[in-house]
Amino acid sequence: MILIKNGHVVDPQNNLNDKFDILIEKGEIKKIEKNIQPFPGCEVIDAEGKIITPSFTDIHVHFRDPGQIYKEDIESGSKAAVAGGYTTVVCMPNTIPAIDDVPIVRYIIEKGEEVGLCRVLPSAAITKGRKGKELTEMALLKDAGAVYFTDDGAPVMDSFIMRKAMEYAGSLGTFVADHCEDLNLSQNGVAHEGELAATLGLPPLPPEAEDTMVARDCILSIQTGMPVHICHISSKLSVEIVAWAKAMGAKVTAEVTPHHLYLTDEEFLDFSCIAKVSPPLRSHEDIEATRWALASGIIDFVATDHAPHAHYEKMQDLQACPPGMLGLQFALPIVLELVKKDYFDLNRMVEVMSIEPAKKIGLKPPQIKEGEIAELTIFDPFETWEVNEETILSKSKNTPLLGRKLTGKVKYTFFKGKIVYRD
Ligand SMILES: [Zn+2]
């Protein structure tokens, strides 16, 4: 038995936003009350000054397994996930080979279960080999356990294929998610097109590359009546387009990454590849737009786009180095900072980190409620920690945050009633 004492419990699903004790017996939440007395044989967790919420769900991670496990694998990725307070993650299909066939879908699920730290679910590719030409066997892939479809890392450039994919996935009761980037507009761009890229002479990547594809997807969704999910939205105009589409009644949802909520293109000031990510880090104005959109619900939730790369890959020149950065362990402190700066409250934080992403993939979100299996995250909102080689649990260490301090630290993560992470 575990007794969690004096934590501030936040779960808008159960109108909880106050100090409570939580008693967990055989993995199940037995009692949520003020002042439960400890008894012999029961482990007591002192949660004074800590916040307890339902654990988090991230529908966008790259665990590089199979094919590039020198960057990350399902085990190391799971460790980073639970250290970030997550107990459900969805792997992207840009593995080698791509997740476009039933045995690979099964492999991800089975390996995730074998590691057992959290729920590791696969998405599957929209098109075979993620080449954008021919649809995958969506019905078979869904039956095998793929939770949605995306060619992430690459857009579906052909609008006719995208329309068919939307209709097909929608009719199966799931959805497509698009990495919105018009490759004809992005060319070999690296940095957000703006003053900074011009001053530094960096190859510019215009925001229209994202905006035009977001607009196309929204229009296709309106026209087909089928859902579409916008991956890693990052520009102010894209946010406005999604707001318009939602007002038109489109079944459009959007996610934003911690780095697009927190870092600007100024990370390129030292010409470092560590700042290269797709879509690129943008301007202060774009960041403000995504923050307020997350607060208002125009953006539905946070997804990390956790994208590990080896050190030597990120040491190449700006053109050659692959885009992407880590995210799983930084989402909580970054989103918490937005709470501290009054963009939104703790209830909204739980919605965007836990409830909404779980619902999006058809899962019942974890709840802090008597009779439920404990899936919760306990964090210290004021503990400051340094991002470094030791504190990052991923195999790769690629993040511009290296050497910087963040405030907000996960102390315990419970999955299926068990403690899977303890700081
Ligand atoms: Zn992407």
Query: 102-129 burial string, b = 16+ CB within 10 Å, else e?
Result: bebbebbbebbeebebbbbbbbbbbbee
Rounded to 10 deg, the angle between the 236-247 and 208-224 helix axes is 10
CA distance 28 to 15: 19
**For the chain, which ranges sit under pLDDT 70?**
none
| Cα dihedral 41, 47, 52, 55 sign | negative
Q: Which residue among 337, 360, 383 closes a domain?
A: 360
**Ligand 1 midpoint to CA 150 (Å):** 9
- Regarding whether 156 and 224 lie in a shared domain, the answer is yes
**Ligand 1 midpoint to CA 61 (Å):** 10
94 annotated binding-site participant: yes
H, E, C per residue of 93-134: CCCCCCCCCHHHHHHHHHHHHHHCCCEEEECECCEHHHCCCC
Q: Is 229:222 a contact under the CB 8 Å cutoff?
A: no
What contacts 24+ positions apart, CB below 8 Å, involve 183-186? 183/155, 183/157, 183/209, 185/209, 185/212
Give the Cα-Cα-Cα angle 26, 30, 32 (nearest 5 degrees): 140
**Ligand 1 midpoint to CA 223 (Å):** 24
CA distance 218 to 216: 5
- Regarding whether 291 and 415 lie in a shared domain, the answer is no
- Regarding whether 273 and 331 lie in a shared domain, the answer is yes
- Regarding whether 388 and 318 lie in a shared domain, the answer is no
- Residue 144 φ/ψ, nearest 5 degrees: -75, -15
- Total of domains in the chain: 2
Tokens, residue 264? 């600007």
Identify the bridge partners of residue 384 per DSSP, sorted by sequence position. Answer: 407
- Regarding whether 81 and 136 lie in a shared domain, the answer is yes
Q: Is residue 365 part of a domain?
A: no
- Regarding whether 290 and 159 lie in a shared domain, the answer is yes
Q: Is residue 122 part of a domain?
A: yes
Q: Which residues contact 127 (CB under 8 A, 6 or more apart)?
A: 100, 133, 134, 135, 136, 151, 156, 161, 165
Q: Is residue 131 part of a domain?
A: yes
Q: Is residue 69 part of a domain?
A: yes
Q: Let me know if 345 is a catalytic residue.
A: no
Identify the bridge partners of residue 21 per DSSP, sorted by sequence position. Answer: 33
CA distance 148 to 215: 21
Q: Is residue 390 part of a domain?
A: yes
Q: Is 21:36 a contact under the CB 8 Å cutoff?
A: yes
Q: Is residue 339 part of a domain?
A: yes
Q: Which residue among 307, 329, 360 closes a domain?
A: 360
- What is each CA distance from 247 to 238, 241, 244, 254, in whole angstroms? 14, 10, 5, 14
Q: Is residue 99 part of a domain?
A: yes
Closest CA to 179 of 277, 48, 310, 102: 277
Query: Within a 10 A sphere around the Cβ of 416, how many other Cβ atoms?
Result: 13
Identify the bridge partners of residue 409 per DSSP, sorted by sequence position. Answer: 380
**Ligand 1 midpoint to CA 210 (Å):** 11
Instruction: Write out the residues surrounding ion ligand 1, Cβ under 5 A.
Output: 152, 179, 231
Q: Is residue 220 part of a domain?
A: yes
- Regarding whether 394 and 342 lie in a shared domain, the answer is no
- Regarding whether 389 and 268 lie in a shared domain, the answer is no
Residue in 305, 317, 380, 423 annotated catalytic: 305
152 annotated binding-site participant: yes
- Regarding whether 416 and 346 lie in a shared domain, the answer is no
What CATH number is attached to the domain comprising 417? 2.30.40.10
DSSP 324: -
Judged on CB neighbours under 10 Å (0-12, 13-18, 19+), 26 is: exposed
DSSP 196: H
Q: Is 193:186 a contact under the CB 8 Å cutoff?
A: no
Question: Tell me, what's the pLDDT at 344?
Answer: 98
Question: Tell me, what's the pLDDT at 270?
Answer: 87
Question: Tell me, what's the pLDDT at 94?
Answer: 96
18 annotated binding-site participant: no
What CATH number is attached to the domain comprising 236? 3.20.20.140
179 annotated binding-site participant: yes
**Ligand 1 midpoint to CA 279 (Å):** 7
- Regarding whether 317 and 289 lie in a shared domain, the answer is yes
309 annotated binding-site participant: yes
- Regarding whether 318 and 173 lie in a shared domain, the answer is yes
Question: Tell me, what's the pLDDT at 272?
Answer: 86
**Ligand 1 midpoint to CA 179 (Å):** 5
Beta strand pairing status for 16-25 and 301-302?
unpaired
Q: Which residue among 320, 342, 360 closes a domain?
A: 360
Give residue 191's domain range: 55-360
CA distance 260 to 239: 13
Q: What is this structure's pTM?
A: 0.97
211 annotated binding-site participant: no
**Ligand 1 midpoint to CA 233 (Å):** 9
**Ligand 1 midpoint to CA 278 (Å):** 6
305 annotated binding-site participant: yes
- Regarding whether 241 and 92 lie in a shared domain, the answer is yes
Give the Cα-Cα-Cα angle 232, 233, 238 (nearest 5 degrees): 160
